[in-house]
Amino acid sequence: MKKVYALYFSPTGNTKKVTITLAKSVQNALNIKMEEIDYTSFYNRKRKYCFSDEDILVIGFPTYAGRLANKILPDLEKINAKGRAIAIPIVTYGNRSYDESLRELCLLLKSKGFKIISQAAIVCEHAFSGKIASKRPTDEDLGEIESFGNKISKRIQNGDIRETEVDISPLKSYYTPLKEDMTPAKFLKAIPKTDKTKCDRCGMCADVCPMNSISSEDYITVNNVCIKCQACVKVCHSKAKYFDDNDFLSHVKMLEKNYINKKNNLFIL
């Protein structure tokens, strides 16, 4: 192995932290080069990526309603393996459930020719609320990830690159978000709003939007699809960006009520 790649889609930064932590652990253990690919960038996702059998791809994606973000799936078709490159898929989730997201990522990578030798699902602070899995990944979480990387590296050094099992049955549907009263929450068309009295037109929200959907002319207009990733809300230093959709806010309250108990990370070797 000559190089490890850390490829991540990470609108709020936690999936990036998780992916890089694992990739660096592998890099240090195997004494090889490392390269980051920020797949959050709208423009980076327009490129094609091909990995060889001398590469290790650590790929991290967040869970959206129990699956991978459907608006990003077409871009994942641009990632391919040449000569059975090794892949280590990771999904992150906000303390509810990763549901089918890890299996979906594994199946997609296998269809592209990758050899999956390990998998992980890591709990991170929920993008919708800092009250859910607050401050995760913690130092303890990151330590677990580093240890996992060391175990993977030892396997590779010993020539043990057998594939982990992946269930190939049809994927289940996306999770239906619920309101406080446990009825379906319908906020598909919800978009971020802007408090004009707070916005200082810094432009950061437009810069970080992974869908390139915030106008670079007025920073208020959403001119394309919104995946509710919260990147614009998190980056806004003046707290001008917010969501006010009633169903969305009710869903957040439901999550804060029912999914606060700590969940453990999943590591599959």
Tens digit of each residue's pLDDT (9 = 90 or more) over 163-191:
999 999 999 999 999 999 999 999 999 99
- Is residue 37 situated within a structural domain? yes
Number of domains in the chain: 2
Question: What CATH number is attached to the domain comprising 205?
Answer: 3.30.70.20
pLDDT one-digit tens code per residue, 46-95: 999 999 999 999 999 999 999 999 999 999 999 999 888 999 999 999 99
Judgement on whether residues 52 and 90 belong to the same structural domain of the protein? yes
pLDDT score recorded for residue 171: 97
State whether 203 and 139 are in the same domain.
Answer: no
Give the pLDDT score at 84: 84
Q: Based on the fold, state whether residues 41 and 157 are members of the same structural domain.
A: yes
Same domain, 160 and 204: no
Q: Is 252 part of a structural domain of the chain?
A: no
Nearest to 68 by CA among 47, 93, 43, 36: 93
Report percent pLDDT > 70 for the chain: 100
Say if residue 102's pLDDT is above 90: yes
pLDDT of residue 139: 98
What does the mean pLDDT of the chain come to? 97
For residue 63, tell me if it sits in a domain: yes
pLDDT digits (tens, 9 = 90+) for 210-233: 999 999 889 999 999 999 999 999
pLDDT in the model for residue 95 = 97
- pLDDT of residue 143 exceeding 90, the answer is yes
Report long-range pairs for 105-108 (Cβ below 8 Å, ≥24 apart). 105/59, 105/61, 105/68, 106/166, 107/166, 107/168, 107/171, 108/68, 108/73, 108/76
The contacts of residue 170 (CB under 8 Å, 6+ apart) are none
Segments in the chain forming alpha helices (H): 14-30, 73-76, 101-111, 139-157, 204-208, 231-235, 246-258
CATH number (domain holding residue 85) = 3.40.50.360
Residue 143 lies in a domain: yes
| Residue 219 lies in domain | 193-244
Task: Return the pLDDT at 83.
Answer: 83
199 with 104, same domain: the answer is: no
Residues 133 and 197 in one domain: no
160 and 202: one domain? no
